[in-house]
Amino acid sequence: MVGVQVTSVIELLQALVRIPSVNPTGDPGTPHTGEQAIADWLAAWLRAEFPAARVELREVLPGRPNVVVRFSDSGGKKPRVLFAPHTDTVSVGGMTIDPFGAELRDGKVWGRGTSDTKGSMAAMLWAMRSVRDRLPDLGYEVWFAGLCSEEAGQHGASALATEEHFDFIIAGEPTGLDAVVAHKGALWLDVTTRGRAVHAAEPHRGDNAIYKMADILRCVRDEIAPMLRSAEHPLLGHTTISAGTVSGGSKVNIVPDICRAELDIRYLPGESPLEPVSARLRAVCADVEISHVLSKPMLTDDAHPLIAKLRACGSRCIGAPWFSDAGVFAQHGMAAIAMGPGSIAQAHTKDEFIAVADLVGGVEFFERFLRSL
């Protein structure tokens, strides 16, 4: 794969999509998981196209590296701007097209990652290739990072944010080339109720864990959801909560002794919903077990000078209900946004695609932005 000749941004995207890089968390839908293969390909391509650049593979998890590229070194005299799409994709299970076919049809490139976020990656890299002779002379040091594991854990962004400091980060995401300066945080609660299993012919002798969970889910819908809507953000709206999965019991004629549900909370900058939501759930079921995974929200000052340059290139400042690697860098005190060509409506879909016009428009946009630095 590394020897594939690439003569356009379309061919670059096709080459990236044809390398499976599915995040192994959950059910990936393929045995071909992890980012090692795409990282190796990217490193080889970058070394060939940018011989003066420093290209590194920095292992974050076993067989799952970040690709980190420094196109010039000012010795600390210039601020740093980082272009940071992620190399992993979500599961390919249930897709109705060849996830790794990268077919060019009807003015679109089809396949897993075309929108989220190999399209952003291809547009960013092809724009850099177009201005590569000028990169050392810009007012900023330009860096690129293909980050691993954004779709679960954000381990790649977390690692790089502790290794390097950047003055401005553009995390690649399909935003229609608008600048996401604010996005919600994600709080995922794993909720477990326990009971006592007995024969279903005598349910009064047992303790039904599913009934306990039913009380909790009723509370989520009727009490917690309205409570979380009390505050509103001009770009993000209000905090939301959704029950995403529920499972319990083992057989119809056994009173269930365990039930598990997963709750998804998308919350606003400045809020901390974990404690109040957990307290309300425990008020309904005192022995409920709660664990959580947290991705923090992001809010970047839109007065940043590079956001002004993005606006001058035609971008708008918007908010988003989803999280991204930009939030990780923001939590480390760095100015960060999410941006890229394509639509978030295509991300994670069974027939994911990006329109060629959007891809080409992304190259033109990032080239204008780079030339303005």
Question: Tell me: the pLDDT tens digits for 307-325?
Answer: 999 999 999 999 998 889 9
Spatial contact of 151 and 324, defined as CB atoms under 8 Å apart: no
Q: Which of 339, 50, 332, 39 is nearest to 163 (CA)?
A: 332
CA–CA dist 155, 320 (Å, integer): 21
Q: What is the pLDDT of residue 2?
A: 52
3-state secondary structure 85-123: CECCECCCCCCCCCCCCCCEECCEEECCCCCCCHHHHHH
Is 3 inside a domain boundary? Answer: no
AA identity, residue 154: Q
Spatial contact of 18 and 1, defined as CB atoms under 8 Å apart: yes
CA–CA dist 367, 373 (Å, integer): 10
Same domain assignment for residues 13 and 134: yes
Average pLDDT over residues 62-66: 97
Q: What is the pLDDT of residue 21?
A: 97
Residue with tokens 């990282």: 39
Q: Are strands 289-295 and 185-194 parallel, antiparallel or unpaired?
A: antiparallel
Q: How far is CA 169 from CA 107, 173, 325, 347, in A?
A: 30, 12, 10, 21
CA–CA dist 77, 68 (Å, integer): 20
The sign one gets for the Cα dihedral 224, 226, 230, 233 is positive
Q: Which of 258, 322, 264 is nearest to 293 (CA)?
A: 264
Q: What is the pLDDT of residue 149?
A: 96
User: Does residue 68 have a pLDDT over 60?
Assistant: yes
**Number of domains into which the chain is organized:** 2
Q: What is the pLDDT of residue 294?
A: 87
Question: For position 196, which CATH number holds?
Answer: 3.30.70.360
Query: Which of 295, 326, 355 lies at the terminal end of a domain, its last residue?
Result: 295
CA–CA dist 226, 241 (Å, integer): 9
Average pLDDT over residues 289-312: 94
Is 1 inside a domain boundary? Answer: no
Same domain assignment for residues 280 and 177: no
Same domain assignment for residues 160 and 220: no
Mean confidence (pLDDT) of the chain:
96
Same domain assignment for residues 302 and 368: yes
Q: What is the pLDDT of residue 296?
A: 83
AA identity, residue 271: E
3-state secondary structure of 227: helix
Same domain assignment for residues 308 and 164: yes
Range of the domain at 230: 185-295
Q: What is the pLDDT of residues 119-137, one digit of tens each?
A: 999 999 999 999 999 999 9
Query: Which of 295, 314, 338 lies at the terminal end of a domain, its last residue?
Result: 295
DSSP-assigned letter for residue 30: S
Same domain assignment for residues 273 and 311: no
AA identity, residue 325: D
Query: Which of 295, 314, 345 lies at the terminal end of a domain, its last residue?
Result: 295
Same domain assignment for residues 238 and 341: no
Q: Are strands 298-299 and 179-183 parallel, antiparallel or unpaired?
A: antiparallel
Q: What is the pLDDT of residue 3?
A: 53
Average pLDDT over residues 352-366: 98
Q: What is the pLDDT of residues 157-174, one digit of tens each?
A: 999 999 999 999 999 999
Average pLDDT over residues 244-255: 96
User: Does residue 4 have a pLDDT over 80?
Assistant: no
3-state secondary structure of 172: strand
User: Does residue 256 have a pLDDT over 70?
Assistant: yes
Average pLDDT over residues 3-7: 77
User: Does residue 207 have a pLDDT over 80?
Assistant: yes
Tokens matching residue 51: 């011989």
User: Does residue 344 have a pLDDT over 70?
Assistant: yes
User: Does residue 88 have a pLDDT over 60?
Assistant: yes
Beta-carbon count within 10 A of 159 CB: 22
Question: For position 93, which CATH number holds?
Answer: 3.40.630.10
Same domain assignment for residues 288 and 337: no
User: Does residue 369 have a pLDDT over 80?
Assistant: yes
Average pLDDT over residues 299-311: 96
pTM: predicted TM-score of the whole model, two decimal places: 0.88
Backbone angles phi, psi at 150, to 5 degrees: -70, -35
